Amino acid sequence: MTLKRQFMPENPPMWLINPVLVESLVVLAVVLCVHMVVWNQQSWCSIALIIQAFYVQHKWDRLLRSGGAVFQFRPATNSGIVPASMVMPLLGLVLREKCSASGNVYFERLSMVITITGMMLALFLSLIALGITRPMPTNTCVIAGMAGSVILYTTKQTLTVSEVIEVLEVLLIFVYLSLIVLYLLPRCFTPGEALLIIGGISFVVNQLIKRSLNLAEVKGDPVNYFLSVIVVGSLLLGVFFALLFCFMESETWVSSLFFYMMTAVLGMGILMPWLSLFIGRHPIMWLLDFLTLNDKRLCLLGYWVFLAVVATCVVLHQNHQRQSGSKKHQASTVVRKYFHLIVVATYVPGLIYDRQLLHVASVVCLAIFLFLEYVRYFRIRPLGQLLRQLLTLFLDERDSGPLILTHIYLLLGMSLPLWLFPGPCAPKGILPGAGSLVPYAGVLAVGVGDTVASVFGSTMGEIRWPGTKKTMEGTATSVFAQIIAVAMFLIFDGSINLDSTYSWIVGSISLVAMLEAYTSQIDNLLLPLYLFILLLL
Protein backbone atom coordinates (compact mmCIF):
# COMPACT_ATOMS: atom_id res chain seq x y z
CA MET A 1 0.00 0.00 0.00
CA THR A 2 2.87 2.31 0.85
CA LEU A 3 4.60 1.59 -2.45
CA LYS A 4 1.38 2.21 -4.35
CA ARG A 5 0.89 5.58 -2.72
CA GLN A 6 4.53 6.41 -3.35
CA PHE A 7 4.21 5.96 -7.12
CA MET A 8 0.76 7.53 -7.50
CA PRO A 9 0.68 11.35 -7.60
CA GLU A 10 -1.74 12.90 -5.14
CA ASN A 11 -2.91 15.46 -7.69
CA PRO A 12 -3.24 14.06 -11.23
CA PRO A 13 -2.25 16.38 -14.09
CA MET A 14 -4.97 18.83 -15.10
CA TRP A 15 -5.24 17.45 -18.63
CA LEU A 16 -6.19 14.06 -17.19
CA ILE A 17 -9.16 15.30 -15.21
CA ASN A 18 -10.45 18.39 -17.02
CA PRO A 19 -12.92 17.23 -19.69
CA VAL A 20 -13.28 20.75 -21.10
CA LEU A 21 -9.56 20.89 -21.83
CA VAL A 22 -9.53 17.44 -23.41
CA GLU A 23 -12.57 18.37 -25.51
CA SER A 24 -10.71 21.48 -26.73
CA LEU A 25 -7.62 19.39 -27.55
CA VAL A 26 -9.73 16.98 -29.62
CA VAL A 27 -11.24 19.91 -31.55
CA LEU A 28 -7.74 21.32 -32.05
CA ALA A 29 -6.67 17.94 -33.46
CA VAL A 30 -9.57 18.10 -35.94
CA VAL A 31 -8.55 21.64 -36.94
CA LEU A 32 -4.96 20.50 -37.54
CA CYS A 33 -6.16 17.52 -39.58
CA VAL A 34 -8.18 19.87 -41.78
CA HIS A 35 -5.21 22.17 -42.31
CA MET A 36 -2.95 19.26 -43.19
CA VAL A 37 -5.09 18.97 -46.33
CA VAL A 38 -6.47 22.50 -46.80
CA TRP A 39 -4.35 25.59 -46.38
CA ASN A 40 -5.34 29.01 -47.70
CA GLN A 41 -5.75 32.61 -46.54
CA GLN A 42 -8.58 31.71 -44.18
CA SER A 43 -6.61 28.95 -42.45
CA TRP A 44 -4.71 31.39 -40.24
CA CYS A 45 -8.07 32.80 -39.19
CA SER A 46 -9.34 29.43 -37.99
CA ILE A 47 -6.17 28.91 -35.93
CA ALA A 48 -6.61 32.35 -34.35
CA LEU A 49 -10.32 31.62 -33.80
CA ILE A 50 -9.80 28.41 -31.84
CA ILE A 51 -7.18 30.07 -29.63
CA GLN A 52 -9.48 32.96 -28.71
CA ALA A 53 -12.45 30.57 -28.35
CA PHE A 54 -10.45 28.54 -25.82
CA TYR A 55 -9.83 31.62 -23.69
CA VAL A 56 -13.37 32.93 -24.04
CA GLN A 57 -14.89 29.55 -23.15
CA HIS A 58 -13.45 29.84 -19.65
CA LYS A 59 -15.11 33.25 -19.26
CA TRP A 60 -18.44 31.84 -20.40
CA ASP A 61 -18.07 28.88 -18.02
CA ARG A 62 -17.44 31.26 -15.14
CA LEU A 63 -20.51 33.31 -16.07
CA LEU A 64 -22.67 30.18 -16.19
CA ARG A 65 -21.46 28.99 -12.79
CA SER A 66 -21.99 32.39 -11.18
CA GLY A 67 -25.35 33.02 -12.86
CA GLY A 68 -24.03 36.18 -14.50
CA ALA A 69 -25.03 35.29 -18.07
CA VAL A 70 -27.67 37.53 -19.66
CA PHE A 71 -29.99 34.61 -20.51
CA GLN A 72 -30.74 31.29 -18.81
CA PHE A 73 -28.72 28.57 -20.52
CA ARG A 74 -28.86 24.80 -20.11
CA PRO A 75 -27.52 24.01 -16.60
CA ALA A 76 -24.96 21.46 -15.38
CA THR A 77 -22.72 21.70 -18.44
CA ASN A 78 -19.97 23.88 -19.91
CA SER A 79 -20.54 26.59 -22.49
CA GLY A 80 -19.28 24.54 -25.47
CA ILE A 81 -17.84 27.57 -27.24
CA VAL A 82 -14.76 25.81 -28.68
CA PRO A 83 -16.48 22.91 -30.52
CA ALA A 84 -19.40 25.07 -31.69
CA SER A 85 -17.20 27.97 -32.91
CA MET A 86 -15.23 25.77 -35.30
CA VAL A 87 -18.05 23.93 -37.09
CA MET A 88 -19.09 26.56 -39.65
CA PRO A 89 -15.54 27.80 -40.43
CA LEU A 90 -14.20 24.27 -40.94
CA LEU A 91 -17.28 23.29 -42.93
CA GLY A 92 -16.78 26.26 -45.25
CA LEU A 93 -13.07 25.47 -45.70
CA VAL A 94 -13.59 21.83 -46.73
CA LEU A 95 -16.56 22.68 -48.96
CA ARG A 96 -14.48 25.36 -50.69
CA GLU A 97 -11.73 22.84 -51.36
CA LYS A 98 -14.16 20.41 -53.02
CA CYS A 99 -15.92 23.09 -55.04
CA SER A 100 -12.65 24.62 -56.17
CA ALA A 101 -11.40 21.24 -57.37
CA SER A 102 -14.61 20.72 -59.37
CA GLY A 103 -14.50 24.24 -60.86
CA ASN A 104 -17.84 25.34 -59.37
CA VAL A 105 -17.14 29.06 -58.78
CA TYR A 106 -20.57 29.92 -57.31
CA PHE A 107 -20.40 27.33 -54.52
CA GLU A 108 -16.71 28.09 -53.95
CA ARG A 109 -17.62 31.72 -53.17
CA LEU A 110 -20.57 30.58 -51.06
CA SER A 111 -18.23 28.33 -49.05
CA MET A 112 -15.98 31.32 -48.34
CA VAL A 113 -19.02 33.23 -47.09
CA ILE A 114 -19.89 30.28 -44.81
CA THR A 115 -16.38 30.32 -43.33
CA ILE A 116 -16.29 34.04 -42.62
CA THR A 117 -19.88 34.03 -41.34
CA GLY A 118 -19.05 31.30 -38.83
CA MET A 119 -16.02 33.25 -37.62
CA MET A 120 -17.98 36.48 -37.24
CA LEU A 121 -20.75 34.76 -35.27
CA ALA A 122 -18.18 33.19 -32.93
CA LEU A 123 -16.48 36.56 -32.45
CA PHE A 124 -19.81 38.20 -31.66
CA LEU A 125 -20.53 35.61 -28.97
CA SER A 126 -17.04 36.22 -27.56
CA LEU A 127 -17.68 39.96 -27.37
CA ILE A 128 -20.86 39.32 -25.37
CA ALA A 129 -18.96 37.23 -22.82
CA LEU A 130 -16.17 39.78 -22.52
CA GLY A 131 -18.63 42.67 -22.25
CA ILE A 132 -20.49 41.24 -19.25
CA THR A 133 -17.50 39.76 -17.43
CA ARG A 134 -16.36 41.71 -14.38
CA PRO A 135 -13.56 42.54 -13.82
CA MET A 136 -12.65 42.99 -17.47
CA PRO A 137 -10.35 40.08 -18.55
CA THR A 138 -7.49 42.04 -20.10
CA ASN A 139 -5.49 39.12 -21.52
CA THR A 140 -8.54 37.51 -23.11
CA CYS A 141 -9.59 40.87 -24.59
CA VAL A 142 -6.15 41.25 -26.19
CA ILE A 143 -6.27 37.74 -27.66
CA ALA A 144 -9.83 38.21 -28.94
CA GLY A 145 -8.83 41.57 -30.43
CA MET A 146 -5.87 40.05 -32.27
CA ALA A 147 -8.02 37.18 -33.59
CA GLY A 148 -10.70 39.65 -34.68
CA SER A 149 -8.13 41.79 -36.48
CA VAL A 150 -6.79 38.80 -38.41
CA ILE A 151 -10.31 37.73 -39.41
CA LEU A 152 -11.36 41.25 -40.45
CA TYR A 153 -8.21 41.72 -42.53
CA THR A 154 -8.73 38.36 -44.26
CA THR A 155 -12.38 39.23 -44.89
CA LYS A 156 -11.31 42.45 -46.60
CA GLN A 157 -8.82 40.56 -48.78
CA THR A 158 -11.01 37.59 -49.80
CA LEU A 159 -14.66 38.72 -49.97
CA THR A 160 -16.37 41.17 -52.28
CA VAL A 161 -18.50 44.03 -50.99
CA SER A 162 -21.74 42.15 -51.68
CA GLU A 163 -20.42 39.10 -49.82
CA VAL A 164 -19.43 41.22 -46.83
CA ILE A 165 -22.95 42.68 -46.78
CA GLU A 166 -24.30 39.12 -46.84
CA VAL A 167 -22.20 38.24 -43.79
CA LEU A 168 -23.47 41.32 -41.95
CA GLU A 169 -27.06 40.40 -42.84
CA VAL A 170 -26.62 36.96 -41.26
CA LEU A 171 -25.08 38.56 -38.18
CA LEU A 172 -28.04 40.94 -37.87
CA ILE A 173 -30.56 38.09 -38.19
CA PHE A 174 -28.55 36.12 -35.61
CA VAL A 175 -28.71 38.98 -33.10
CA TYR A 176 -32.48 39.37 -33.34
CA LEU A 177 -33.17 35.62 -33.36
CA SER A 178 -30.91 35.11 -30.33
CA LEU A 179 -32.78 37.77 -28.36
CA ILE A 180 -36.14 36.20 -29.21
CA VAL A 181 -35.27 32.51 -28.90
CA LEU A 182 -33.13 32.70 -25.74
CA TYR A 183 -35.72 34.88 -24.01
CA LEU A 184 -38.70 32.70 -24.93
CA LEU A 185 -36.91 29.36 -24.40
CA PRO A 186 -34.76 29.52 -21.26
CA ARG A 187 -32.48 26.58 -20.30
CA CYS A 188 -32.87 24.89 -23.72
CA PHE A 189 -29.38 25.60 -25.06
CA THR A 190 -25.80 26.16 -23.98
CA PRO A 191 -24.07 29.20 -25.53
CA GLY A 192 -22.30 26.88 -27.98
CA GLU A 193 -25.51 25.11 -28.99
CA ALA A 194 -27.22 28.48 -29.44
CA LEU A 195 -24.35 29.61 -31.68
CA LEU A 196 -24.59 26.47 -33.79
CA ILE A 197 -28.38 26.22 -34.08
CA ILE A 198 -29.38 29.89 -34.30
CA GLY A 199 -26.37 30.65 -36.49
CA GLY A 200 -27.35 27.90 -38.92
CA ILE A 201 -30.98 29.05 -39.00
CA SER A 202 -29.86 32.65 -39.59
CA PHE A 203 -27.75 31.59 -42.57
CA VAL A 204 -30.63 29.55 -44.06
CA VAL A 205 -33.07 32.45 -43.61
CA ASN A 206 -30.69 34.88 -45.30
CA GLN A 207 -30.05 32.51 -48.22
CA LEU A 208 -33.78 32.02 -48.77
CA ILE A 209 -34.43 35.76 -48.75
CA LYS A 210 -31.53 36.31 -51.15
CA ARG A 211 -32.80 33.69 -53.59
CA SER A 212 -36.37 34.96 -53.34
CA LEU A 213 -35.20 38.40 -54.42
CA ASN A 214 -33.24 36.94 -57.36
CA LEU A 215 -35.62 34.38 -58.83
CA ALA A 216 -34.03 34.76 -62.25
CA GLU A 217 -30.83 33.20 -60.86
CA VAL A 218 -32.62 30.35 -59.07
CA LYS A 219 -31.52 27.00 -60.45
CA GLY A 220 -30.71 23.53 -59.27
CA ASP A 221 -32.66 20.59 -57.91
CA PRO A 222 -36.12 21.52 -56.50
CA VAL A 223 -35.44 19.11 -53.62
CA ASN A 224 -32.89 21.53 -52.19
CA TYR A 225 -35.48 24.28 -51.60
CA PHE A 226 -37.81 22.27 -49.37
CA LEU A 227 -35.54 22.50 -46.33
CA SER A 228 -35.13 26.28 -46.45
CA VAL A 229 -38.87 26.93 -46.78
CA ILE A 230 -39.72 24.44 -44.00
CA VAL A 231 -37.15 26.00 -41.62
CA VAL A 232 -38.39 29.54 -42.24
CA GLY A 233 -42.04 28.51 -42.01
CA SER A 234 -41.51 26.63 -38.74
CA LEU A 235 -39.59 29.59 -37.33
CA LEU A 236 -42.36 32.05 -38.24
CA LEU A 237 -45.02 29.77 -36.76
CA GLY A 238 -43.14 29.26 -33.51
CA VAL A 239 -42.23 32.91 -32.93
CA PHE A 240 -45.75 34.12 -33.79
CA PHE A 241 -47.54 31.81 -31.38
CA ALA A 242 -44.91 32.13 -28.65
CA LEU A 243 -45.50 35.88 -28.62
CA LEU A 244 -49.28 35.54 -29.03
CA PHE A 245 -49.72 33.06 -26.19
CA CYS A 246 -47.88 35.39 -23.84
CA PHE A 247 -51.10 37.43 -23.85
CA MET A 248 -53.80 34.76 -24.14
CA GLU A 249 -54.50 31.27 -22.82
CA SER A 250 -53.36 28.51 -25.18
CA GLU A 251 -55.18 25.53 -23.65
CA THR A 252 -58.74 26.48 -24.68
CA TRP A 253 -60.55 25.06 -27.69
CA VAL A 254 -60.81 28.55 -29.20
CA SER A 255 -57.03 29.04 -29.03
CA SER A 256 -56.46 25.55 -30.41
CA LEU A 257 -58.76 26.15 -33.39
CA PHE A 258 -57.01 29.48 -34.02
CA PHE A 259 -53.64 27.67 -33.92
CA TYR A 260 -54.73 25.12 -36.54
CA MET A 261 -56.31 27.80 -38.69
CA MET A 262 -53.22 30.02 -38.69
CA THR A 263 -50.99 27.03 -39.39
CA ALA A 264 -53.13 26.21 -42.44
CA VAL A 265 -53.02 29.85 -43.57
CA LEU A 266 -49.23 29.95 -43.20
CA GLY A 267 -48.77 26.66 -45.04
CA MET A 268 -51.30 27.04 -47.86
CA GLY A 269 -51.24 30.82 -48.23
CA ILE A 270 -47.55 31.65 -47.79
CA LEU A 271 -45.23 28.62 -47.85
CA MET A 272 -46.87 26.81 -50.79
CA PRO A 273 -46.80 29.85 -53.14
CA TRP A 274 -43.29 30.65 -51.94
CA LEU A 275 -42.09 27.13 -52.71
CA SER A 276 -43.84 27.12 -56.08
CA LEU A 277 -41.71 30.11 -57.12
CA PHE A 278 -38.59 27.96 -56.76
CA ILE A 279 -39.79 24.70 -58.29
CA GLY A 280 -42.07 26.17 -60.99
CA ARG A 281 -45.03 23.93 -60.09
CA HIS A 282 -47.58 23.50 -57.35
CA PRO A 283 -45.60 21.82 -54.53
CA ILE A 284 -48.26 19.21 -53.72
CA MET A 285 -48.54 18.07 -57.35
CA TRP A 286 -44.75 18.00 -57.68
CA LEU A 287 -44.49 15.99 -54.44
CA LEU A 288 -47.05 13.43 -55.60
CA ASP A 289 -45.22 12.93 -58.90
CA PHE A 290 -41.92 12.71 -57.03
CA LEU A 291 -43.13 10.09 -54.53
CA THR A 292 -44.79 7.89 -57.17
CA LEU A 293 -41.94 8.05 -59.69
CA ASN A 294 -41.25 4.30 -59.48
CA ASP A 295 -42.10 1.18 -57.50
CA LYS A 296 -38.88 1.37 -55.50
CA ARG A 297 -39.98 4.64 -53.91
CA LEU A 298 -43.39 3.24 -53.02
CA CYS A 299 -41.71 0.24 -51.36
CA LEU A 300 -39.41 2.51 -49.36
CA LEU A 301 -42.32 4.66 -48.27
CA GLY A 302 -44.27 1.60 -47.13
CA TYR A 303 -41.23 0.34 -45.21
CA TRP A 304 -40.76 3.72 -43.50
CA VAL A 305 -44.44 3.86 -42.51
CA PHE A 306 -44.02 0.43 -40.92
CA LEU A 307 -40.99 1.65 -38.92
CA ALA A 308 -42.94 4.74 -37.81
CA VAL A 309 -45.67 2.44 -36.49
CA VAL A 310 -43.04 0.37 -34.65
CA ALA A 311 -41.59 3.51 -33.01
CA THR A 312 -45.07 4.61 -31.95
CA CYS A 313 -45.72 1.17 -30.45
CA VAL A 314 -42.47 1.40 -28.46
CA VAL A 315 -43.58 4.75 -26.98
CA LEU A 316 -47.04 3.42 -26.11
CA HIS A 317 -45.65 0.18 -24.64
CA GLN A 318 -43.16 1.98 -22.42
CA ASN A 319 -45.87 4.34 -21.15
CA HIS A 320 -48.21 1.39 -20.52
CA GLN A 321 -45.52 -0.26 -18.37
CA ARG A 322 -45.13 2.92 -16.34
CA GLN A 323 -48.88 3.28 -15.80
CA SER A 324 -49.33 -0.39 -14.86
CA GLY A 325 -47.43 0.05 -11.62
CA SER A 326 -43.79 -0.17 -12.67
CA LYS A 327 -41.39 1.72 -10.42
CA LYS A 328 -39.51 2.96 -13.47
CA HIS A 329 -40.14 6.67 -13.96
CA GLN A 330 -37.69 7.24 -16.85
CA ALA A 331 -36.74 5.11 -19.83
CA SER A 332 -33.32 3.50 -19.55
CA THR A 333 -30.42 4.25 -21.87
CA VAL A 334 -30.99 0.93 -23.68
CA VAL A 335 -34.66 1.75 -24.28
CA ARG A 336 -33.85 5.21 -25.66
CA LYS A 337 -31.33 3.67 -28.03
CA TYR A 338 -34.12 1.59 -29.59
CA PHE A 339 -35.02 4.74 -31.47
CA HIS A 340 -31.44 5.08 -32.73
CA LEU A 341 -31.66 1.56 -34.17
CA ILE A 342 -35.02 2.35 -35.79
CA VAL A 343 -33.55 5.49 -37.35
CA VAL A 344 -30.55 3.51 -38.66
CA ALA A 345 -32.97 1.01 -40.20
CA THR A 346 -34.76 3.99 -41.77
CA TYR A 347 -31.76 5.82 -43.20
CA VAL A 348 -29.49 3.05 -44.49
CA PRO A 349 -31.89 1.74 -47.19
CA GLY A 350 -32.64 5.32 -48.24
CA LEU A 351 -28.94 6.15 -48.57
CA ILE A 352 -28.31 3.01 -50.61
CA TYR A 353 -31.31 3.09 -52.93
CA ASP A 354 -32.74 6.63 -53.18
CA ARG A 355 -31.04 9.58 -51.50
CA GLN A 356 -33.32 12.18 -53.04
CA LEU A 357 -36.38 10.47 -51.58
CA LEU A 358 -34.66 10.26 -48.19
CA HIS A 359 -33.80 13.97 -48.43
CA VAL A 360 -37.44 14.95 -48.99
CA ALA A 361 -38.77 12.46 -46.43
CA SER A 362 -36.39 13.72 -43.72
CA VAL A 363 -37.44 17.34 -44.37
CA VAL A 364 -41.12 16.39 -44.13
CA CYS A 365 -40.37 14.46 -40.94
CA LEU A 366 -38.64 17.55 -39.50
CA ALA A 367 -41.73 19.63 -40.26
CA ILE A 368 -43.95 17.04 -38.52
CA PHE A 369 -41.68 16.86 -35.47
CA LEU A 370 -41.61 20.65 -35.10
CA PHE A 371 -45.38 20.92 -35.50
CA LEU A 372 -46.01 18.22 -32.87
CA GLU A 373 -43.55 19.91 -30.51
CA TYR A 374 -45.45 23.18 -30.90
CA VAL A 375 -48.69 21.31 -30.13
CA ARG A 376 -47.12 19.78 -27.01
CA TYR A 377 -45.39 22.97 -25.84
CA PHE A 378 -48.46 25.20 -26.25
CA ARG A 379 -50.81 22.44 -24.94
CA ILE A 380 -52.92 22.65 -28.08
CA ARG A 381 -56.04 20.46 -27.87
CA PRO A 382 -56.67 17.60 -28.32
CA LEU A 383 -53.09 16.22 -28.56
CA GLY A 384 -51.05 18.66 -26.46
CA GLN A 385 -51.54 17.10 -23.03
CA LEU A 386 -51.34 13.55 -24.43
CA LEU A 387 -47.95 14.26 -26.04
CA ARG A 388 -46.69 15.70 -22.75
CA GLN A 389 -47.61 12.50 -20.94
CA LEU A 390 -46.16 10.18 -23.59
CA LEU A 391 -42.82 11.96 -24.04
CA THR A 392 -42.10 12.66 -20.36
CA LEU A 393 -40.85 9.08 -19.94
CA PHE A 394 -38.05 9.64 -22.47
CA LEU A 395 -36.65 12.87 -21.04
CA ASP A 396 -32.99 13.01 -20.05
CA GLU A 397 -30.85 15.58 -18.29
CA ARG A 398 -30.42 17.58 -21.51
CA ASP A 399 -34.15 18.31 -21.77
CA SER A 400 -34.04 20.85 -18.94
CA GLY A 401 -35.95 23.62 -20.71
CA PRO A 402 -39.58 23.92 -21.83
CA LEU A 403 -38.88 22.20 -25.17
CA ILE A 404 -38.20 18.50 -25.74
CA LEU A 405 -35.56 18.50 -28.46
CA THR A 406 -33.83 15.12 -28.16
CA HIS A 407 -35.77 13.46 -30.99
CA ILE A 408 -35.35 16.54 -33.19
CA TYR A 409 -31.59 16.54 -32.58
CA LEU A 410 -31.49 12.85 -33.51
CA LEU A 411 -33.26 13.59 -36.79
CA LEU A 412 -30.95 16.54 -37.50
CA GLY A 413 -27.83 14.53 -36.72
CA MET A 414 -28.82 11.79 -39.13
CA SER A 415 -29.99 14.20 -41.85
CA LEU A 416 -27.44 17.02 -41.84
CA PRO A 417 -24.71 15.08 -43.72
CA LEU A 418 -27.30 14.29 -46.41
CA TRP A 419 -28.59 17.88 -46.56
CA LEU A 420 -25.09 19.40 -46.62
CA PHE A 421 -23.69 17.00 -49.21
CA PRO A 422 -22.06 19.16 -51.92
CA GLY A 423 -23.87 17.58 -54.84
CA PRO A 424 -23.07 20.36 -57.36
CA CYS A 425 -19.37 19.94 -56.53
CA ALA A 426 -19.39 16.14 -56.85
CA PRO A 427 -19.04 14.61 -60.33
CA LYS A 428 -22.03 12.33 -60.93
CA GLY A 429 -23.11 12.97 -57.33
CA ILE A 430 -20.27 10.84 -55.90
CA LEU A 431 -17.11 11.94 -54.09
CA PRO A 432 -13.93 9.83 -54.31
CA GLY A 433 -12.22 8.11 -51.39
CA ALA A 434 -13.49 8.76 -47.87
CA GLY A 435 -15.82 11.39 -49.34
CA SER A 436 -18.10 8.62 -50.58
CA LEU A 437 -18.97 7.94 -46.92
CA VAL A 438 -19.98 11.55 -46.26
CA PRO A 439 -23.77 10.93 -46.49
CA TYR A 440 -23.31 8.13 -43.94
CA ALA A 441 -21.64 10.40 -41.35
CA GLY A 442 -24.82 10.72 -39.30
CA VAL A 443 -25.51 6.98 -39.39
CA LEU A 444 -21.93 6.22 -38.32
CA ALA A 445 -21.50 8.86 -35.61
CA VAL A 446 -24.99 8.80 -34.05
CA GLY A 447 -26.84 5.73 -35.26
CA VAL A 448 -23.97 3.28 -34.74
CA GLY A 449 -21.21 4.92 -32.71
CA ASP A 450 -23.21 6.80 -30.08
CA THR A 451 -25.68 3.92 -29.68
CA VAL A 452 -23.01 1.25 -29.16
CA ALA A 453 -20.97 3.50 -26.84
CA SER A 454 -24.00 4.21 -24.65
CA VAL A 455 -25.27 0.62 -24.48
CA PHE A 456 -21.92 -1.08 -23.90
CA GLY A 457 -20.61 1.70 -21.68
CA SER A 458 -23.64 1.68 -19.40
CA THR A 459 -23.93 -2.11 -19.16
CA MET A 460 -20.36 -3.45 -19.28
CA GLY A 461 -18.05 -0.45 -18.96
CA GLU A 462 -15.80 -0.30 -15.89
CA ILE A 463 -12.83 1.94 -16.76
CA ARG A 464 -13.98 5.55 -17.02
CA TRP A 465 -12.29 8.29 -18.97
CA PRO A 466 -10.80 10.70 -16.39
CA GLY A 467 -13.20 13.49 -15.49
CA THR A 468 -16.25 12.00 -17.28
CA LYS A 469 -18.93 9.34 -16.82
CA LYS A 470 -18.07 7.77 -20.18
CA THR A 471 -16.09 4.53 -20.27
CA MET A 472 -13.13 3.40 -22.34
CA GLU A 473 -14.95 0.17 -23.21
CA GLY A 474 -17.84 2.16 -24.65
CA THR A 475 -15.51 4.28 -26.80
CA ALA A 476 -13.54 1.26 -28.03
CA THR A 477 -16.67 -0.68 -29.01
CA SER A 478 -18.02 2.46 -30.67
CA VAL A 479 -14.98 2.70 -32.95
CA PHE A 480 -15.05 -1.04 -33.66
CA ALA A 481 -18.77 -0.98 -34.49
CA GLN A 482 -18.36 1.95 -36.88
CA ILE A 483 -15.55 0.16 -38.71
CA ILE A 484 -17.81 -2.88 -39.11
CA ALA A 485 -20.59 -0.60 -40.37
CA VAL A 486 -18.23 0.88 -42.99
CA ALA A 487 -17.40 -2.64 -44.18
CA MET A 488 -21.13 -3.42 -44.47
CA PHE A 489 -21.75 -0.23 -46.46
CA LEU A 490 -18.94 -1.23 -48.82
CA ILE A 491 -20.71 -4.53 -49.49
CA PHE A 492 -24.21 -3.18 -50.10
CA ASP A 493 -23.54 0.27 -51.64
CA GLY A 494 -21.71 0.02 -54.94
CA SER A 495 -21.15 3.80 -55.13
CA ILE A 496 -18.64 3.68 -52.26
CA ASN A 497 -15.00 3.48 -53.35
CA LEU A 498 -12.58 4.24 -50.53
CA ASP A 499 -9.38 4.19 -52.65
CA SER A 500 -7.00 3.14 -49.84
CA THR A 501 -8.22 5.83 -47.42
CA TYR A 502 -8.88 3.30 -44.65
CA SER A 503 -6.38 4.78 -42.19
CA TRP A 504 -7.92 8.26 -42.58
CA ILE A 505 -11.40 6.84 -42.01
CA VAL A 506 -10.33 4.96 -38.87
CA GLY A 507 -8.52 8.05 -37.56
CA SER A 508 -11.56 10.26 -38.23
CA ILE A 509 -13.90 7.82 -36.48
CA SER A 510 -11.52 7.59 -33.51
CA LEU A 511 -11.26 11.39 -33.15
CA VAL A 512 -15.03 11.79 -33.21
CA ALA A 513 -15.40 8.94 -30.69
CA MET A 514 -13.04 10.80 -28.34
CA LEU A 515 -15.11 13.94 -28.79
CA GLU A 516 -18.21 11.92 -27.86
CA ALA A 517 -16.49 10.75 -24.70
CA TYR A 518 -15.60 14.24 -23.49
CA THR A 519 -18.21 16.64 -24.82
CA SER A 520 -21.19 17.70 -22.71
CA GLN A 521 -22.93 19.32 -25.68
CA ILE A 522 -25.67 17.69 -27.76
CA ASP A 523 -23.65 14.87 -29.31
CA ASN A 524 -26.45 13.96 -31.75
CA LEU A 525 -25.85 17.34 -33.39
CA LEU A 526 -22.12 17.87 -32.95
CA LEU A 527 -20.60 14.48 -33.79
CA PRO A 528 -22.07 14.04 -37.32
CA LEU A 529 -20.88 17.50 -38.32
CA TYR A 530 -17.29 16.83 -37.25
CA LEU A 531 -17.25 13.41 -38.91
CA PHE A 532 -18.76 15.02 -42.03
CA ILE A 533 -15.91 17.56 -42.09
CA LEU A 534 -13.19 14.93 -41.67
CA LEU A 535 -14.61 12.52 -44.26
CA LEU A 536 -15.10 15.33 -46.78
CA LEU A 537 -11.33 15.88 -46.81
Does the residue 48 lie in any domain?
A: yes
Question: What's the pLDDT at 161?
Answer: 92
- pLDDT tens string 196-222: 999 999 999 999 988 888 876 666 677
Tens-digit pLDDT profile for residues 155-200: 889 999 999 999 999 999 999 999 888 888 888 888 899 999 999 9
Q: Which among 169, 172, 187 has a CA at the least distance from the CA of 74? A: 187
Domain assignment present for residue 498? The answer is: no
Q: Confirm if 400 and 75 have CB atoms less than 8 A apart.
A: yes
Q: Does a structural domain hold residue 125?
A: yes
Domains in the chain: how many in total? 1
pLDDT at 300: 94
Per-residue pLDDT, 14: 45
Let me know if residue 367 belongs to a domain. Answer: no
Helix (H/G/I), strand (E/B), else coil: 214: coil
DSSP letter at 471 equals B
Domain that holds residue 89: 19-217
Alpha carbon distance, N-terminus to C-terminus of the chain? 51
- pTM for this model (two decimals): 0.92
DSSP string, 405-469: -HHHHHHHHHHHHHHH--GGGSGGG--SGGGGGGGGHHIIIIIIIIHHHHHHHHHT--SBPTTSS
Q: Which of 319, 341, 465 is nearest to 395 (CA)?
A: 319
187 Rama class: left (phi>0) / alpha (psi -120 to 50) / beta: left
**236 lies in some domain:** no
Report yes or no: 515 and 23 within 8 Å, Cβ to Cβ: yes
Backbone angles phi, psi at 471, to 5 degrees: -110, 155
How far is 4 from 318, CA to CA, in rounded Å? 48
Whole-angstrom distance, CA of residue 199 vs CA of residue 205: 10
Q: Mean pLDDT per 10-residue run, the chain (537 residues)?
A: 40 62 92 90 89 88 77 82 93 91 87 93 86 77 88 90 93 92 86 92 92 73 85 89 84 90 90 87 88 90 93 82 62 76 93 92 92 91 86 75 87 93 77 86 92 85 84 91 93 84 91 91 92 92
72 contacts: CB under 8 Å, gap ≥ 6: 182, 186, 187
